Structure 1
Amino acid sequence: MNGTIVELLDGNAAHAEAFADRFDDVQDAQHPDAVTVCCSDSRVLQDQMWGNEEPGHLFTVGNIGNRVVQRAEAGEEVSGDVLYPIAHTGTEAAVVVGHTGCGAVTATYRALTDELSEPAGIEHCLDLLKPHLEPGVEALPDGLDGAAAVNRLVEYNVDRQIEFLVESDEVPASVDLVGAVYDFQDVYSGARGEIHVINVDGERSVDGLRDDHPDVADRIDRIWEY
């Protein structure tokens, strides 16, 4: 057996022992308080970033580029894995979490500004991001290096995903929609691993958000107000 798999199973044994009595209330049904949409990245720990150790509390979705969009016959739709907890479990909060140095955003940026060849499955994911990121690429300030450009586009991508949810008829207006960035590269002021709120229900002005949400004003920040 692959040594990493053995280590994972050992870790799972410890998990099972610690969590044995935490599933009593959620064995037959789930009613998560929020759905979180994060990027598929080994550095993005979807439950640990929130300090969550409670089964049933968060409905976690991970994909390349923290997308809420999927392509259907009729065009773009809210992804089923994002919509499911909202439509069927009473979840009334959705959080889209990008992260600094995002590989999906980097690849999409390269695909829009240069040639990039990826396997078909990855290309499909990038194609879902391209139309949403292309206006952001065109609006980038001059003189940015690659890393600075990508981190601005990380915010832009989160904004576009939140915008898609705000405009969707499938998402009730009662659902709170929050966009955020997880920083482990010292891009924002704050500790590594901190989450910075950049968008609430489509509002992305830092001053406006801080006025509207004074209880979390110190967690609201952006690097690009466009």
Structure 2
Amino acid sequence: MNQTVVDLLANNADHATAFDSRFDAVQDAQHPDAVTVCCSDSRVLQDHSWGNDRPGHLFTCGNIGNRVMQRTETGDAVSGDVLYPIAHTGTKTAIVMGHTGCGAVTATYDDLTEGLNEPAGISHCLDLLKPRLEPALDLLPDDVSRAGAINRLVEYNVDRQIQFLKASDDVPDDVDCIGVVYDFQDVYGGDRGEVHVINVNGETDTDRLRAEHAAVGSRIDRLWEY
């Protein structure tokens, strides 16, 4: 067995010792306060970014491009892993977390503008993102850099995922759908690893959001109000 796995198992032993009693209240059921959908990127530690160390608190999902939809025989639908806690455990908050410099958004941008040749599994994921991101290409500022374009599309993608959740008949109207961006590249001007709120239930106007959510007004920010 390679050293990486040996080290991971050693770390897990420490985890098991620390968490042994923390599972007492969730042995037989879970009622997470939020479902979070994060991009599958090794630089974004989904639970740790929220300071979560409590089993049963967050229902975490991850995929490339922080997508909330999957393709079915009857069309695109809210992904089962995202929908499960909403439908079955009483979860009333859904958080979609994009991140700066997203590789999935970058690949989708490149596929739309230049065409890519990816393995089937990756192409499938990009095909789910492309129709959501393509309309944004004509909206990008003419003088925007490549990195600037990608990070604006990160926001646009989060917006589209929130829009999809809010439009779905499978997601009750009383579920709060929050869009955020995790920044580890000094794009938003805060600390690295800070989460910035960009969308609340489809509202993206930062002035309105700050007025309505003054308690977290300093955490509300966008690069792009298109």
What is the TM-score normalised by the length of structure 2? Answer: 0.99
Counterpart of 2:178 in 1: which secondary structure? Answer: strand
Residues 88-167 of structure 1 mapped to structure 2, 5 A cutoff: 88-167=88-167
The match for 1:52 is: 52
Corresponding pairs, count: 226
The CA distance in 1 between the partners of 2:154 and 2:11, in whole Å, is 32
The match for 1:198 is: 198
Write the deviation string for residues 183-204 of structure 1: whole angstroms up to 9, x where unpaired: 0000002100000000000000
The CA distance in 2 between the partners of 1:58 and 1:138, in whole Å, is 37
The match for 1:80 is: 80
Shift of 1:218: 0.4
Shift of 1:115: 1.9
Residues 15-94 of structure 1 mapped to structure 2, 5 A cutoff: 15-94=15-94
The CA distance in 2 between the partners of 1:188 and 1:145, in whole Å, is 16
The match for 2:221 is: 221
Counterpart of 1:25 in 2: which secondary structure? Answer: helix
Shift of 1:113: 0.5
Write the deviation string for residues 24-70 of structure 1: whole angstroms up to 9, x where unpaired: 00011000000000000000101000000000000000001000011
RMSD of the alignment, in Å?
Answer: 0.5
Aligned-partner residue type, residue 215 of structure 1: A
Query: Does 1:170 pair with 2:164?
Result: no
Q: What runs of 5+ residues in structure 1 fail to find an aligned partner?
A: none
The CA distance in 2 between the partners of 1:67 and 1:60, in whole Å, is 13
Shift of 1:162: 0.1
Shift of 1:143: 1.6
Moved over 4 A (4+): none
Shift of 1:90: 0.3
The CA distance in 1 between the partners of 2:106 and 2:200, in whole Å, is 24
Aligned-partner residue type, residue 33 of structure 2: D
Aligned-partner residue type, residue 3 of structure 1: Q
Percent of aligned pairs with the same amino acid: 71
The CA distance in 2 between the partners of 1:132 and 1:205, in whole Å, is 20
The CA distance in 2 between the partners of 1:114 and 1:158, in whole Å, is 23
Write the deviation string for residues 78-129 of structure 1: whole angstroms up to 9, x where unpaired: 0000000000000000000000000000000000000211100000000000
Shift of 1:219: 0.3
Deviation larger for 94-103 or 143-152: 143-152
What is the TM-score normalised by the length of structure 1? Answer: 0.99
The CA distance in 1 between the partners of 2:134 and 2:60, in whole Å, is 27
The CA distance in 2 between the partners of 1:81 and 1:26, in whole Å, is 19
Shift of 1:23: 0.1
Write the deviation string for residues 114-165 of structure 1: whole angstroms up to 9, x where unpaired: 0211100000000000000001122111121211100000000000000000
